[in-house]
Amino acid sequence: MEHNLNQGLLDKLTKVCICKGIPRSSIKAAIKNGANTIEAVQKATGAGSGSCGGKRCTSKIQELLIQQKAGE
Ligand code: FES
């Protein structure tokens, strides 16, 4: 329980897309809501459309997609 709480808090505080300030919690929520490709997650959250063009966040999104799929 405490672990889940901390994880949820960390997810809110950790920015996956630094350019756009998109937290990990938003990426996870998008994946849960059916976004199952990098493009779909980017479209749903706006991640990847910042000044770096997704260079810094695309691999992190990919990792979360793999993790989420592995957890199903
Ligand atoms: S970190 Fe996501 S677009 Fe730059």
Q: What is the pLDDT of residue 1?
A: 58
Residue ranges of the chain whose pLDDT lies below 50:
none
* Alpha carbon nearest to ligand 1 atom 1, residue: 17
Do 5 and 29 meet the contact criterion of CB atoms below 8 Å apart? Answer: no
- Give me the architecture of the 2-71 domain, per CATH: Orthogonal Bundle (1.10)
Q: Where are the domains of the chain?
A: 2-71
Q: How far is the CA of 69 from the centre of ligand 1 (A)?
A: 23
pTM to 2 decimal places: 0.91
Q: What is the pLDDT of residue 71?
A: 81
Which H/E stretch holds residue 5? helix 2-13
Atom of ligand 1 nearest to the CA of 49: 3
Residue of 58, 70, 44 whose CA lies nearest to 16 = 58
Q: What is the pLDDT of residue 5?
A: 82
User: Which residues line ligand 1 at a C-beta cut-off of 6 Å?
Assistant: 17-20, 47-48, 50, 52, 54, 56-57
